[in-house]
Amino acid sequence: MNKVFLFLLCLVVFACADSSQQQTKVATTTVTSAKATTISIVPNSIDATVLDINFTPKGNYNTIKQTIKADRAYFTRLFQQNKQKAIDSASQYLYYKLINEIVPHWYGTPWDFNGHTNTPNDGEIACGYFVSTTLRHLDFKLNRYKMAQQGGLNEAITLQPKAKLKIYRNISQKELKTKLNKVYEDGIYFVGLSNHVGYILIKNKELYFLHSSYYDNKVMIEKAATSPCFQSDIYVFAEITTNRKLIQKWIQNTTIPIHH
């Protein structure tokens, strides 16, 4: 293990731990109505129409999970006939299901350092558990507990080999945005920070941070550049919806080992 990797590991190993414990918890009220939830977790600076994504929970959550599990059979059959088409189609499908059907039910769920609820807006959720639980509910075959208990770097390596990760240190928000738009297309990505983890949505060259926020005490989406939780000495990115090998594992229902 080289010195650079050891340094990176030390920086991200604690994920949500240190700074979350130092934050003063702000009392929040769980909002149950769809309209109120949308207002609560989406800043005025984010336009759902421009992003072309859904912020409002729709349908029964358990039914959504069951549908995803059942739909995989179609992609499995397609994969046997046309591997490239199956992966491309599954990538679009998983993007849509995660951002438009799974995540909207989680908006407003209270954050807690020890939170690990398996049910949106019923209990509390820590940043790592938000990522691992929503991926598990998207029917990736992984252990949500073991993944959430890892540091940000190991969570990233669980999703994509270390050599494929994009790692940036001591970088301005403007420079980070420029670099990411050179190497990534629109999609959903995992990001590990020095004390936090979450998803990055890249849409029309803008970066949006989707996470269980220890600052606002809830699951929310916001522009990454202005998020207090997105400020970090290091950023570790792993592809999710653009990750062909990960998508293939989903299609084939392959177990994803947790890197630790």
- Of the pLDDT bands very low, low, confident and very high (cuts 50, 70, 90), residue 42 is low
Encode pLDDT of 114-123 as tens digits.
Answer: 999 999 999 9
Q: Lowest mean pLDDT: which of 28-37, 42-51, 248-257?
A: 28-37
What six digits make up the tokens of 173? 């928000």
- Tell me the per-residue pLDDT of 54-92, one tens digit each, with 9 for 90 and over: 999 999 999 999 999 999 999 999 999 999 999 999 999
- Give the integer Cα–Cα distance in Å for 212 and 224: 13
Higher pLDDT, 12 or 136: 136
Please report, for the chain, the start and end positions of each structural domain, with discontinuous segments joined by +: 10-251
Q: What is the mean pLDDT of residues 31-46?
A: 49
b/e map 229-239, b = 16+ CB within 10 Å: bbebebbbbbb
Q: How far apart are the C-alpha atoms of 240 and 160, rounded to whole Å? A: 8
Please report, as a single letter, which amino acid is at residue 175.
E
- Stated pTM of the model: 0.86
**Region class of 58: left (phi > 0), else alpha (psi between -120 and 50), else beta:** beta
User: C-alpha 170: how far from its chain's center?
Assistant: 22
What is the pLDDT averaged over residues 106-114?
97
What average pLDDT does the chain have?
87
Which pLDDT tens digit goes with each residue over 21-35?
333 333 333 333 333
Does residue 188 or residue 37 have the better pLDDT? Answer: 188
